[in-house]
Amino acid sequence: MPPRLFVAHVDAFGVVPLTWWAALILVCGLVLTAAVVRPFTAVTGWRPIPTAATGVWLAVTAALTLGPGNLSPDERAGCAVPDDSTADVLIELGHSLEGALNAVLLLPLGVTLVLASRRALVPGAVVVVLPGLVELAQLFVPGRFCSLTDFVLNAAGGLVGVGFGVGAVLLRQSRRDT
C-alpha cells in the first residue's frame, strides 16, 4: 500500500486515503494547468482566470478520485450498482457525508467551466461525461471501484454548478445592460 500523507475520515464505514500518489497527481495537474491556460484561452477565447480555476479544480478532482484507494483486491469487484437506482442514490445523499461530498465534487467545475466559456452546453456535457470516465478509470486503480451512485451524484452536482454558472453569467450581463 502506498504511504499516506494523512487520512480524511468520510463516514463511519470507510475512509478516503490521501496518499503520495494523490499529491503527485495534484502537482502534475497544476503544472499542466499552468502550461496550457494561456495557449488554450488564446485559441478558444475563454476567459483566463476561470479557465485557470477550471484546470485547478480538474487537478483536485483527479487527485481525489484517481489515487490508489484502501480496498483489498477481494473487495473491489467491478462496479457497484444499487438495487433501487434512484431511491438508493437519494438515500445515500441524505444519509452519508460521502454521498454529499460526491454531489458537490464537480459543482465548482460546472461553475468555472460556464464562467470561462460563457456557455452552458459544453460545460454540461463535460460534467456528465467526466464522472463516467472517472468511474471507469477507477476499475484500473488499485484499491478503488466504480460506482453508479457516485457517477449520478457527481454528474448531478456538476449540472447544479452549470446552473449556478449560467445564473452568474446572466446576472453579470443584466447588470451590464442597465
User: Which of 156, 129, 146, 12 shows the shortest CA–CA distance to 66?
Assistant: 146
- Contact by Cβ (8 Å): 76, 94: no
Q: Which residue has the higher pLDDT, 84 or 153?
A: 153
The tens digit of pLDDT for each residue in 126-137 reads 999 999 999 999
Q: How much is the pLDDT for 91? A: 60
pLDDT, residue 9, reads: 39
- Indicate if the pLDDT at residue 171 is higher than 70: yes
Mean pLDDT of all residues in 76-88: 58
Structure pTM?
Answer: 0.82
Residue 74: strand, helix, or coil:
coil
Strands (E), the chain: 4-11, 14-19, 79-80, 146-147
**Residue 68 pLDDT more than 70?**
yes
Range name among 8-12, 34-38, 159-163, 167-171 with the lowest pLDDT average = 8-12
The full set of domain ranges for the chain reads 4-177
What's phi and psi for 101, nearest 5 deg?
-65, -40
- Report pLDDT for 97: 75
Locate 63 and state its grid cell.
Answer: 487527485
When pLDDT is averaged across residues 103-130 and rounded to a whole number, the result is 97
What are 155's three cell numbers?
Answer: 454528474
